[in-house]
Amino acid sequence: MLIKSMETILTCPGRNYLIVKITTEDGVTGYGDATLNGRELSVKEALDSHLSKYLVGMDAERITDIWELVYRGTYWRGGPVLMTALAGIDMALWDIKGKRYGAPLYQLLGGRCRDRLRAYFHVHGHTKEDLADRIRQRMEDGCTCFRYSFDTKDSRQEGLYFNQPHQDISLGRRIEVTEGNIGKPEVWDTEEYGHDLIRVTSYLRDTFGGSIGLIHDSHERFTPIQAAAAAKQLERFGLFFLEDPVEPVNVQGLELIRGHSVTPIAMGELYNSMKDCLIPIERNLIDYLRLDISHYGGITPSMKTAAVAENHGVKIAFHGPSDISPLAHAALAHVDFAIPNFGIQEWVDHNEELDQVFHTNVRYENGFITIRDTPGLGVEVDEDAAREYTYKPKFLPTLRDREGAVHNW
């Protein structure tokens, strides 16, 4: 089953997504997600001008062989642009394989390990009371675990708030900025935020007791000693996990946190290869691995890494934001069903525009994700609809501290 062509489709049904389409000589088509938020054009260029040259004429059945060729053949290996492009290719090839054999992807990965996947949603509040109201609204949908964020009021300057990134889509607030706002960073104060984190978390536990799971993402904004102090203070509230307390490559920072706290730690959305996450896994410095399947090279390396994590008691909690397409959400759901060490799955609402482009068999209902037995990924792409939603340049925001120095976003 030889590859006839590979093309990319850049679409913006509410936000930008990059689709990889691979077609075989016998007419089977597979789709994959190659979206890198704010850098979509870089990935598209890599696919169109470079990586497509590898694929034409190769056997689409040889997924691992193609993965190794693309990864090693570039010589300059790794990095988010290459690994995102490779993820799109990898997903599309698995989609083709499933369609050829008439089987959903999870069957090709070893079959189901569970019947459904526990999911969590983002909830954001301007105040702690607003946040509690958002949790109550989500609880009506059956959700039992929440990734909470909030705006921190500056104690020194009236009207200034320190904002945290979130994917609470129903609030209608996007995190991206337009070209005209590049170079206009937000202000950030970690000390103010750190104090507020303890107060807000305490309020949520007092309000809801132990009936819900609580997840907080500090988005790498702590220094190691700040992160260790926060994790220790958060122990008494029993978080499901604390996400990204320090930068992903800071192994010593994770060791410092581990030495002072038993708060579960999750890391991984910025990892691009197993080399990035092997030491934290082997040293049990993390409890949940948060790989982004669209930036980690796709399904093939994710399955390998999940097997390594399983042997060290680390569970998988894939990154599942709105800036990867339903193709990626379907791919990670298939992997979740097929691995023994699934932990929990981040999930987001889809808007009507997105549903016009992507027709998916993955469903959220009453706190859990289910999937129907459609061959391949189980997502069909309406290419005409996709092309109607043209690309709109958007960029991730930036932060500066009170003194004007750049801070991790």
Q: Distance (Å, rounded) from C-alpha 330 to C-alpha 381?
A: 13
pLDDT in tens, 172-228: 555 666 666 666 788 889 999 999 999 999 999 999 999 999 999 999 999 999 999
**Could you tell me the CA-to-CA distances from 255 to 243, 245, 246, 273 in Å, in that order?**
15, 12, 11, 21
Q: Distance (Å, rounded) from C-alpha 231 to C-alpha 257?
A: 7
pLDDT band at 164 (very low <50, low <70, confident <90, very high): confident
Statement: residue 109 has pLDDT above 70? yes
- Amino acid identity, position 45: E
Give me 376's structure tokens.
């391949």
Rounded to an integer, the average pLDDT of 64-81 is 93
**Other residues' Cβ atoms within 10 Å of the Cβ of residue 391:** 14
Q: Is the dihedral of CA 77, 80, 86, 91 positive or negative?
A: positive
Rounded to an integer, the average pLDDT of 392-396 is 87
Rounded to an integer, the average pLDDT of 360-388 is 97
Q: Distance (Å, rounded) from C-alpha 355 to C-alpha 326?
A: 9
- Say what the pLDDT of residue 334 is: 98
- Say what the pLDDT of residue 162 is: 77
Q: Of the candidates 321, 276, 327, which has an alpha carbon nearest to the alpha carbon of residue 298?
A: 327
- Say what the pLDDT of residue 178 is: 63
| Partners of 85 in beta bridges | none
Taking all residues of the chain, what is their mean pLDDT, rounded to a whole number? 93
DSSP-derived 3-state class of residue 117? strand
Phi, psi of 36 (to 5 degrees): -125, 105
Q: Distance (Å, rounded) from C-alpha 374 to C-alpha 378?
A: 5
Q: What percent of the chain stands above pLDDT 70?
A: 95
Helix pair 274-282, 299-310: axis angle to 10 deg = 10
pLDDT in tens, 218-261: 999 999 999 999 999 999 999 999 999 999 989 999 999 999 99
**Other residues' Cβ atoms within 10 Å of the Cβ of residue 68:** 12
Phi, psi of 124 (to 5 degrees): -130, 145
Which of the residue ranges 93-97, 104-108, 154-158, 302-306 would you say has the lowest mean pLDDT?
A: 154-158
pLDDT band at 123 (very low <50, low <70, confident <90, very high): very high
Those residues whose C-beta lies under 8 Å from the C-beta of residue 305, and which sit 6 or more positions away, are 274, 277, 289, 291, 296
- Amino acid identity, position 219: H
Rounded to an integer, the average pLDDT of 328-352 is 96
Write down how long the chain is.
409
- Say what the pLDDT of residue 187 is: 87
- Amino acid identity, position 57: G
CA 368 to mean position of chain CA atoms: 17
Rounded to an integer, the average pLDDT of 256-280 is 96
Residue with tokens 């996709």: 386
- Say what the pLDDT of residue 168 is: 64
Contact 214, 239 (CB under 8 A): yes
Phi, psi of 262 (to 5 degrees): -110, 15
- Say what the pLDDT of residue 185 is: 80
- Say what the pLDDT of residue 122 is: 94
Longest dimension (CA), the chain: 67
Residue with tokens 């016998």: 26
- Amino acid identity, position 311: N
**Other residues' Cβ atoms within 10 Å of the Cβ of residue 219:** 17
- Say what the pLDDT of residue 50 is: 93
What domains are there in the chain, each with its CATH number? 1-103 (3.30.390.10), 107-375 (3.20.20.120)
Q: Of the candidates 118, 26, 64, which has an alpha carbon nearest to the alpha carbon of residue 301?
A: 64
- Amino acid identity, position 354: L
Q: Distance (Å, rounded) from C-alpha 197 to C-alpha 329?
A: 29
DSSP-derived 3-state class of residue 215? strand
Statement: residue 94 has pLDDT above 80? yes
Q: Is the dihedral of CA 23, 24, 26, 32 positive or negative?
A: negative
Statement: residue 51 has pLDDT above 60? yes
How is the beta sheet containing 29-33 ordered, strand by strand? 3-11, 17-24, 29-33
